[in-house]
């Protein structure tokens, strides 16, 4: 199994950060959110990744090309001999394929462009800007059990505001930021069959529009319900929330390197 990460968008709603780096390179706990996502997969034995690049994709290339440099506690540079040695560098047993999928390509088009790397079997897919403690083994088992072309993880979005519970005009309870209205949304973390490529027309195709709608209409889209932690990082407020959770030791998605 390989995992495909969509990492090419601009992140316009978090422009304070994404104006200088792609959204997946925004850091939580001093490390790119992209790295947190890869560790989620690696914790379930998935170590082959295909990353769809777009906006400022060269920064993601540089990060992985210099992975030892970023992970080492000590870097010894011998300028005279032109050598660099690393001490206490973390080595993750991953294979990462970085594919330029076009700066203006839509999500469906990005998936279509990496077809040759994943067309030999089912693969995972998720976005490069959200974190979860989803059980990927259970997700995959659900996908295989239902034998549909695509499985999406459904989640209840976290609430943004405190809620009042009323009895007439009397407030009976104040609930601080409850979950949403129980409506389920696309939480990313898909498992897909190569058959889904038949539903993607070209670069302008938005994965979340025609392909998913047609898969649903054809009875080929299954939902795996995840009731645990899930949080997108679309705004600075959400970035700060994730950062606070990490700093306080309350990060449900945390997967420390082995």
> Domains of the chain: which residue ranges?
2-156+183-247
Q: What pLDDT, on a 0 to 100 scale, did the predictor assign at position 164?
A: 61
State how far the alpha carbon of 85 is from the alpha carbons of 11, 38, 66, 70, in Å.
36, 25, 12, 13
Nearest alpha carbon to residue 57 among 105, 13, 119, 91: 105
- CA-closest candidate to residue 111, choices 193, 184, 219, 13: 193
- Give the pLDDT confidence of 98-110 residue by residue, as tens digits: 999 999 999 999 9
pLDDT at 174: 65
Find, among 207, 171, 230, 239, the residue nearest to 40 by Cα: 230
Q: What percent of the chain has pLDDT over 90?
A: 72
φ/ψ of residue 129, rounded to 5: -145, 25
**Helix (H) or strand (E) run with residue 166 in it:** strand 163-167
Question: Where does the chain have alpha helices with state H?
Answer: 15-18, 33-42, 57-65, 67-71, 107-113, 115-118, 136-146, 210-217, 236-247
Average pLDDT of the residues in 171-196: 79
Name the 3-class secondary structure at 214: helix
Instruction: Read off the pLDDT of residues 10-40 as tens digits, 9 standing for 90 and up.
Output: 877 787 777 889 999 999 999 999 999 999 9
Q: Which DSSP string do the residues of 176-206 spell out, in sequence order?
A: SS-B-SS--EE---EEE-GGGGGG--STT--
pLDDT of residue 238: 93
pLDDT of 192 reads: 98
Nearest residue to 25 (alpha-carbon basis) of 50, 54, 68, 46: 54
pLDDT at 257 over 80: no
* pLDDT for 172 beyond 90: no
State the pLDDT at residue 181. 58
pLDDT, the chain, mean:
90
| Cβ-based neighbours of 256, under 8 Å, separated by 6 or more | 39
Average pLDDT over residues 126-144: 97
The domain defined by 2-156+183-247 folds into Spore Coat Polysaccharide Biosynthesis Protein SpsA; Chain A (3.90.550)
Would you state the structure tokens that stand for residue 136, as one six-digit string? 């990927």
Amino acid 205: pLDDT: 97
Please name the residues in contact with 25: beta carbons below 8 A apart, sequence gap of 6 or more. 32, 33, 34, 56, 59, 60, 63
Give the model's pLDDT for residue 16.
Answer: 76
pLDDT (0 to 100) of residue 30: 93
Judge whether residue 154 has pLDDT over 70.
Answer: yes
Helix (H) or strand (E) holding 85: strand 83-87
pLDDT digits (tens, 9 = 90+) for 234-255: 999 999 999 999 999 999 999 8
Answer yes or no: is pLDDT of 126 > 70: yes
pLDDT in tens, 202-237: 999 999 999 999 999 999 999 999 999 999 999 999
Could you tell me the pTM of the whole model?
Answer: 0.89
In this prediction, residue 170 carries a pLDDT of 64
pLDDT tens-digit series, residues 75-99: 888 899 888 888 877 789 999 999 9
């Amino acid at each position: 199994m390989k995992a495909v990460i969509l990492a090419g968008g601009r992140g316009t709603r978090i422009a304070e950060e994404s104006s200088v780096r792609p959204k997946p390179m925004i850091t939580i706990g001093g490390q790119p959110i992209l790295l947190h996502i890869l560790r989620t997969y690696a914790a379930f034995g998935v170590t082959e990744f295909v990353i769809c690049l777009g906006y400022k994709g060269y920064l993601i290339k540089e990060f992985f090309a210099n992975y030892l440099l970023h992970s080492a506690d000590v870097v010894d540079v011998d300028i005279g001999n032109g050598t660099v040695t690393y001490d206490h560098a973390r080595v993750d047993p991953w294979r990462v394929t970085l594919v330029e999928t076009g700066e203006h390509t839509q999500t469906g088009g990005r998936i279509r462009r990496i077809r040759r790397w994943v067309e030999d079997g089912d693969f995972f897919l998720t976005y490069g800007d959200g974190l979860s403690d989803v059980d990927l083994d259970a997700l995959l088992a659900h996908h295989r059990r239902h034998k549909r072309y695509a499985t999406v993880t459904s989640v209840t979005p976290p609430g943004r505001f405190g809620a009042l519970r009323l009895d007439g005009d009397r407030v009976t309870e104040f609930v601080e930021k409850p979950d949403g209205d129980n409506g389920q949304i696309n939480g990313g973390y898909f498992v897909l069959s190569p058959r889904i490529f038949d539903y993607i027309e070209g670069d302008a195709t938005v994965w979340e529009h025609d392909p998913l709608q047609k898969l649903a209409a054809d009875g080929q889209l299954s939902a795996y319900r995840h009731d645990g932690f899930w949080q997108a990082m679309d705004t600075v407020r959400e970035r700060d929330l994730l950062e606070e959770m990490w700093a306080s030791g309350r990060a449900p998605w945390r997967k420390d390197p082995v």
